Structure formats: C-alpha cells, structure tokens
Amino acid sequence: MDELIEKAILVAVKLQKDEHFEYGLEELHNLSEALDVEVVGEVTQNLERVTSSHYVGTGKVEEIRNLYEETGANLVIFNDELSPSQIRNLERDLDCKVIDRTMLILDIFARRAKSNEAQMQVDLAQLQYMLPRLVGLRASLGRQGGGTGGGFKNRGAGETKLELDRRKIEDQIAKLKRDLEHAKDQRETQRKQRKKNAIPVVSLVGYTNAGKSTIMNQLLNKVGQMESKQVFEKDMLFATLETSVRQIKLPDQKEFLLTDTVGFVSKLPHHLVKAFRSTLEEARDADLLLHVVDVSNDEHRFMMDVTNETLHAVGVEDVPTVYVYNKSDLADMKYPHVAGDSIWISAKEGAGLDELLEIIRKHIFSNYVRCSLLVPFERGDIVSYLNENASVSSTSYEEQGTVVQVELKKSDYDRFQEFLFVQ
C-alpha cells in the first residue's frame, strides 16, 4: 500500500443467516488496522444474497460514494471476496480504489512473511488472485489504439498489454509452484528424519492472536531453554506466519518437538489456505494438537469452529487434540484448571504450564517402558546413550556389568532387548 495515510470506508453485506456478522465486521476493522489503514466510516446492508453486479444494491453505491467524499477517504474495503466484474463495476461507479477482504489479508501476509517459503506462498496466492481480475484491476488502461475491423494489429494497446501481463503472471505462477514443490520436498526429508529419530511432535493450532507464540515461549522458558530460541509474539493479527519448530527437553530427558502454525481467521481466502497447506501439514503429522483458544473473546466458539473447518480443509484429521483455553485471567475463569483433555491457563502469567506439560506428557509418552538393563562394561557407549536420552532412576554395578533402572521410549526398548535384566 502507498505511504500516504490510507483512509477507508468499510462496506459489508449482512445475509439473513449470518449470526457472526458483527464479529466479521470487527475483524475487518482489525485487519485494516493491521495495515495502518484509518477507518473513517462504514456502510452495511441487509440482503438475502449479495448483488451480482456491485455486491451491494445500486442505491447503496450512491450512499458509499457520498460518504467517501464527505470523509475524504481514498479507499473502499469490502468485507467479502469480490468477483472480477464486481471490482470493475465498483471502481467505475465509485471512481476510486476498491479492495476486498481477500486482498487485505493477502497484503498483511505479504508484510509479515519472513522466510523465503512464506514469501513464495504469499506471492503465489496474490498472483492466483490477480489473474482473473486483471481486467478489473487494469480498467484504467482504457482502449488506446484504434482502427476498425478485427485482427491482432487493431487491438487496443491496453488489451495487448493485458495479454502480455497474463502470460507473465502464468509463467511466474508456474515457477513459484516448482520452487514450492522443491521446498516441500526438503521439508518432507526433515520430517522423515524426525520420524526416524522417533521424536514426538506437538503442534500448536488456533485462531490468530489466541496466544500460540506466547505459550511456545513460556514453555521454552519453563524448561530453561535459551532466550535466543524465542518466537516473535505480539498482540496483533498474523504476528507469525512461519512454522517455528523448537525442541523441548524435559528434566527427565524426555523430549518432543513443538511446532507453531499460522493463525486462522474467518473467511481465510481459499488461495491462502491452499498456499499454506504445506505449512499446516506440520499439524497433520503431529502426535498431538494443542488447539489454543482465546477464551476471553465472546466469539471463541466461532473461532474454534473456523479453526476446525480450516484444519479439516487441509486434511488434518484424527490427531488427538487438547483444548487450551488461554487468557482465562481476562475471562474471569478459574485457572489453572484441568478437565479431561481441556485446560484453562494464562500463558502471559505463566499459570497452568506445569499442568499443560503434564497433559502433553500423558499423551505422547504413554508408550515409554520402565525396565532394568544389564549392560556389559565394554558397552559404556550404551550407558552414556541412556543417560542422555532416557530417564535413568538408578545405576549399580554387578560382576557382569552395569545395571541401569531406566524409563525409555519403545524404540530404544526394542533395540536393547538383549540387555534386559530380570532380578
């Protein structure tokens, strides 16, 4: 967006069955603020269905135009994704810059994307969104050139330019798709490596701004892991777009990987869901999902539904899930409090983290085995491996070797079968 101060009118249509209209509009305000756009007015309309030509009824177009002139706005933002013809008609009749909710979200993602892969995913989504809308977005080109009769020569220069643009964009899309495939293959390799090492994966999912990054940072602090591993957290929409992966090592040597995923939002553009599919695949292969909910928000049930629908859309199914009701301090709820696979915490205050770790432990370390091993003295390498990678409760020495009382993961138990020691 330009450097000048953007002043926007927000426009939204309320359909009869939309119970979450107010919240969707509030979210549009927040999305606008996330891009430093000053909202100077809003126009809403109740309709049975959106108008195919202008999204709103033609009378409303006049009202928007008047408010636009009165407030000195320089932008009109619509609360849904507009079709190419709607953009074209609105830009013509309002005579101003028109953007929709999808463009707004894409713009925020473009600003927040840090890693190369996230940037490529956003670029791809933007290009896929632009392609069918080129004519609308380029209405200003006009039909220069002239002459009568058909034939390529007599096409308007604007039209020729559009053809060139279209081809250029299609080439860019093809290239980005190839590069993203390559990035995906690399991540697949890393994921297989992790599976081979049998380190369980716990994935944080949830609505944007629910506190996922805060939880990750607090857990890192809790287990005394360095500050440098901290993840960016801020009270704003889409603060994190990258998937952060951190290894968490508990005092008894058990360890797991904690991954943080991009936050969800209602009406997340389908181009973006597709683009971030690979990022969300981290969640698909997780051993446990922590579904983080901002319980202080009146609409938190709706947010949970949106998150579940989006996860479903990218194929995340049948992964055991713990519901983490965060910001309980702001919701005047009892915390820390555990009920089955639900926990109420305040990540900011650090309250409920021990209980959360306990729940995680129960889920992902249920296949650990307690046993005694008798390790010959010449196999000191095994004893040092166990000290580093398992929970050793006692060590004693017999004539034949070292006796280790240990709790270890099933894969290690199978590996050291020959040293099992029955007293």
Question: 391-397 and 401-408: which strand pairing?
Answer: antiparallel
* DSSP string for residues in 297-320: STTHHHHHHHHHHHHHHTT--S--
3-class SS of residue 137: helix
d(C-alpha 193, C-alpha 179), whole Å: 22
Supply 313's token pair. Answer: 């859309």
Q: Does 326 appear as a known binding residue?
A: yes
Q: Does 59 appear as a known binding residue?
A: no
Contact indicator for 326, 346 with CB cutoff of 8 Å: yes
Q: Does 211 appear as a known binding residue?
A: yes
Q: Does 147 appear as a known binding residue?
A: no
For the chain, how far is it from start to end, CA to CA, in angstroms? Answer: 73
Q: Does 148 appear as a known binding residue?
A: no
Of residues 380, 387, 378, the one with CA closest to residue 405: 387
Q: Does 212 appear as a known binding residue?
A: yes
d(C-alpha 37, C-alpha 74), whole Å: 10
User: Helix H segments across 45-156?
Assistant: 58-71, 84-94, 101-112, 116-130, 134-137
CA distances from 199 to 48, 254, 257 (A): 52, 9, 7
**Interacting residues of 91 by C-beta distance below 8 A, sequence separation 6+:** 97, 98, 136, 139
Q: Which amino acid is at 68?
A: Y
Q: Does 327 appear as a known binding residue?
A: yes
Burial class (CB within 10 angstroms; exposed 0-12, middle 13-18, buried 19+) of 111:
middle
Q: Does 318 appear as a known binding residue?
A: no
Supply 157's token pair. Answer: 């220069």
Contact indicator for 335, 351 with CB cutoff of 8 Å: yes
Angle at 405 between CA 400 and CA 408, to 5 degrees: 120
Q: Does 397 appear as a known binding residue?
A: no
Q: Does 261 appear as a known binding residue?
A: yes
Q: Does 298 appear as a known binding residue?
A: no
Burial class (CB within 10 angstroms; exposed 0-12, middle 13-18, buried 19+) of 90:
buried
* DSSP string for residues in 59-70: HHHHHHHHHHHH
Q: Does 329 appear as a known binding residue?
A: yes
Burial class (CB within 10 angstroms; exposed 0-12, middle 13-18, buried 19+) of 174:
exposed
Q: Does 347 appear as a known binding residue?
A: yes
d(C-alpha 341, C-alpha 94), whole Å: 52
Q: Which residues are annotated as a binding site?
A: 206-213, 240, 260-263, 326-329, 346-348
Q: Which residues are annotated as a binding site for Mg(2+)?
A: 213, 240
Q: Which residues are annotated as a binding site for GTP?
A: 206-213, 260-263, 326-329, 346-348
